[in-house]
Amino acid sequence: MLAGKKGLIVGIANDKSIAYGCARIFNREGAELAITYLNDKAEKHVRPLAEGLGAPIISPLDVQNEDQMDRLFDRIADQWGKLDFVLHSIAFAPGDDLHGRVIDCSRDGFLTAMDISCHSFQRLAKRAEPLMIDGGALLTVTYMGSERVIDHYGVMGPVKAALESATRYMAAELGPKNIQVHAISPGPLLTRAASGIAEFNTLMNTAQSRSPGRRLVTIDEIGELAAFLASDRSRGITGDVIHVDGGYNIMG
């Protein structure tokens, strides 16, 4: 499904990461991958996974570091000359702001959460656009807390709502270049990012008990959707928030 395609994966922290599940399916479907890690501490967890997928580009990327982002895309341009898809699967809010009320969130905390979790997707897209010479796909990861109030999700709810809105506007702007933009909305999974949310085990138990199949989705199932969206088979879809949560979102 992805034979001959080149993709950038941002957001692998370990083998439980949604981004890793997606990368594994991208690789299975024939894509060649560039994989990033946050910093030296993260590298020891990410590099073995990237090497296991045969990634020819393994690079540090702190999305708040513009020079580092420029170097990454320069390397992709030099080595590949094109880019077919990008997966953005990162989110962050400072702990004090994440665990408090939305109205108590500090200005700096809100701006940090928006910058890393939302605006970084736009910055990646801006750099990817000229490399998507044959069109392409930009994928990001959101959550149902953007649509309704989820206990303990806090400031990430408004931030993910902004991310979904950005997805729609980016889809409209990039559509004439045959670039699709998608927001994938998985059900709750115990990832490193999710572990920072208070009472997350309760959230997972609720999702499992209320979803039609009475189970949680897996990172591989999320990857199957992501691979379809990154492929030419999904060219009629853009700008949508696509749930992959076992139907939990329909249960009210």
CA angle (233 as vertex; 171, 248 as ends), nearest 5:
70
Q: What per-residue confidence (pLDDT) applies to 13?
A: 95
At the fourth CATH level, which superfamily is domain 6-244?
NAD(P)-binding Rossmann-like Domain (3.40.50.720)
Domain extent listing, the chain? 6-244
How confident is residue 221, by pLDDT bands cut at 50, 70 and 90? very high
Query: Out of 112-126, 174-188, 197-211, which region has the weakest mean confidence (pLDDT)?
Result: 197-211
Helices 120-128 and 66-79 cross at an angle (nearest 10°) of 30
Of 10, 8, 15, the C-alpha closest to 191 is: 15
Known catalytic residues are: 143, 153
Q: Side chain identity at 44, as an amino acid letter?
A: K
pLDDT(51) > 80: yes
* Distance from chain centroid for Cα 164: 12
Annotated binding site for substrate: 93
Annotated binding site for NAD(+): 11, 17-18, 62-63, 90, 160
Q: Are 202 and 230 in contact (CB under 8 A)?
A: no
Q: What is the mean pLDDT of residues 64-81?
A: 98
pLDDT(192) > 60: no
How confident is residue 252, by pLDDT bands cut at 50, 70 and 90? low
What is the model's pTM? 0.93
Q: What is the mean pLDDT of residues 98-117?
A: 97
Tokens found for residue 201 = 């085990």
Q: What per-residue confidence (pLDDT) applies to 126?
A: 98
* Three-class DSSP labels, the chain: CCCCCEEEEECCCCCCCHHHHHHHHHHHCCCEEEEEECCHHHHHHHHHHHHHCCCCEEEECCCCCHHHHHHHHHHHHHHCCCCCEEEECCCCCCHHHHHCCHHHCCHHHHHHHHHHHHHHHHHHHHHHHHHCECEEEEEEECCHHHCCCCCCCCCHHHHHHHHHHHHHHHHHHHHHHCEEEEEEEECCCCCCCHHHCCCHHHHHHHHHHHCCCCCCCCHHHHHHHHHHHHCHHHCCCCCCEEEECCCHHHHC
Q: Are 112 and 157 in contact (CB under 8 A)?
A: no
Q: Are 86 and 170 in contact (CB under 8 A)?
A: no
Annotated binding site: 11, 17-18, 62-63, 90, 93, 160
Q: Are 97 and 158 in contact (CB under 8 A)?
A: no
Mean pLDDT of all residues belonging to the chain: 94
